[in-house]
Structures are given as C-alpha cells and as structure tokens.
Amino acid sequence: MYKIVRKENLGSSVVQFDVEAPKIAAKAKSGQFIIVRLDEQSERIPLTIADYDREAGTITMIFQAVGFSTNALKTLEAGDSILDVVGPLGTASEIENYGTVVCIGGGVGIAPVYPIARDLKEAGNKVISIIGARNEDLLFWKDKMAAISDELLIATDDGSAGIKGFVTDVLKSVMDRENVDRVWAIGPMVMMKAVANTTRPSGVKTIVSLNPIMVDGTGMCGGCRVQIGTETKFACVDGPEFDGHLVDFDLAMRRSSVYKTEELQAVEHDHQCRIGGIGKCH
C-alpha cells in the first residue's frame, strides 16, 4: 500500500497527490511514468511522474478526473492509501546542454514537462517554458515553472491568462526571435501534433510524450502501438518520448479513442449504482 501524504486540488478536477514511494523516488528520472491501481478491481492508470523527493521518499502525481477510474482516484484523501504504484517505467528524457530549449505543457501536460524543464535548466540550457490551457482555471504550477525557467509564457484559448491563443502561437513568436535548439511538448495529442507541425519546417527536433495512449504500461497488451517513421514502437516500453516529427499522430489519436465506448459504459454503470443507493460497484 502507498500512503497519500498530501492532496491538493489544483482546480477544474485536477488533483495532486504526494505519495510515499521511497524505492520509486530513489530511481525516478524526468520523463518516466508510473502505473497506479486504486484497488483489486481497478484498472491500471499510467501517470507520468510529475516530481519526486528522494530525501522524503515521495513522488508527485497529477491527474485530471475525467473518467471512471480517475474520478474514483480523486475521492481519496491525505492519509488514504493506493493499492499499487509501480515504477519508474519507461525511458527517461535525454537531458543534455543543447543551448536554448522550449518546454511546452498543455493542460495536465504541465506536470510532466516540469521535471524535464528543471533538469534541462540544471544541465545549463536556456529554458523558455510555455504553458497553456483552455482557460485560467486549468492552469497550475505557474510559480514552479517560472522558478526553473529563464522565461515563462502563458496562453489560454479564451484569453483569461496570458495571451489569447494557442501554445503554437507563442512558440512561433519565440522561434522568430530565438535560435531554438530543441523543443519538448507534452499535452493532448492534438496539441503535440500542432507543435510538431510548427517546428517541422525549421527542422528543430521536437520531443513529445505518448503517455495518453498507454493501457497496461508493460508492452503486454499492444494497445499503445505507434508508428514512428517506418518502425512500429510501443509507447510504454520504447517511450513514452519520441521524435514528434516521426510520430503518426492520426494513428495515435485513433488508438487513444479505442476504449471510449467502454469508458462511457463504466461511468454510466457507476452512476446507476450510486443513484440506486448501493454506492460504488464494479
């Protein structure tokens, strides 16, 4: 069992857990992920490691309650425990001194891009961070991102914070004034695709994380198969980070919606159990 030592509601169903997991914290690196299972009947939830504290023996996970399992996870409080937390899994980010790097986090993608930006800064890079969301309520960790960045820029679809527009609009303006050596982009598939298309003409290597299409996280199910150039890869064991210019995003987005029907059925089933007065059921 893995005890939740701290819970913080970051707004709009976005939740942060700090969890006791000393063995994972001791080995975790930026870009890696964990698999979480609430109880014996729960599905496996892949979550990128948002932060870790080796001295305290804790890891930080951030998720948005959008489906059956994440809504169940959201009901836990500090002091409660999670049955399984497995990790660190996946290949860590390639951290070097590239020069000037841009780190982009969209929505909940702000969480996993944070440790990457921090490590890149510690490696001597000039770090320009861009965070974006539909509105200000979906933004979080602005102060944390600013603290490890040479410059922090914000974009919201509705203009409630930063500029009104998309992270790609901000990226274009940065590339017009800076010699950018590498870009990291983590967030919704459509956002990562747009970022890769923005940097493609200039040839700036762009790294994306395909965590959103993972299922079991071990390569056993094959649900996260992706086309990377001419090769077939698994997002969980070969990634989750890949060269965004080589990713077949259309295929990846189709895979990410494979279980949409089952997810809706699970949510409806749980709703019927609750209104029937018998509480949560499986």
Claim to verify: residue 15 and residue 40 sit in the same structural domain: yes
Say if strands 231-234 and 225-228 run parallel, antiparallel, or are unpaired: antiparallel
Closest CA to 191 of 111, 132, 245: 132
pLDDT at 44: 85
* Stated pTM of the model: 0.87
- Domain contains 77: yes
Give the C-alpha separation, 246 to 260, whole Å: 26
Query: Could you tell me the two tokens for 174?
Result: 């940065």
pLDDT at 221: 67
* CATH number of the domain bearing residue 46: 2.40.30.10
Of 209, 242, 274, the position where a domain reaches its end is: 209
What are 62's strand-pairing partners?
A: 16
- Domain contains 261: no
Claim to verify: residue 35 and residue 83 sit in the same structural domain: yes
36 within 8 A of 82, measured Cβ to Cβ: yes
pLDDT at 252: 84
Residues 6+ apart with CB under 8 A from 282: 41
Give the C-alpha separation, 96 to 124, whole Å: 8
Claim to verify: residue 122 and residue 189 sit in the same structural domain: yes
State whether the Cα torsion 25-27-29-35 is positive or negative.
negative
Closest CA to 207 of 61, 31, 28: 31
Domain that holds residue 47: 2-89
37 within 8 A of 45, measured Cβ to Cβ: yes
Give the C-alpha separation, 219 to 213, whole Å: 12
Of 185, 209, 233, the position where a domain reaches its end is: 209
pLDDT by position in tens, the chain (length 282) = 899 999 999 987 899 999 999 999 999 999 999 999 998 888 888 898 999 999 999 999 999 988 888 899 999 999 999 999 999 999 999 999 999 999 999 999 999 999 999 999 999 999 999 999 999 988 999 999 999 999 999 999 999 999 999 999 999 999 999 999 999 999 999 999 999 999 999 999 999 999 866 666 666 666 677 889 998 888 777 779 999 999 998 988 886 554 454 444 444 545 455 555 555 555
Of 62, 89, 116, the position where a domain reaches its end is: 89
pLDDT at 259: 47
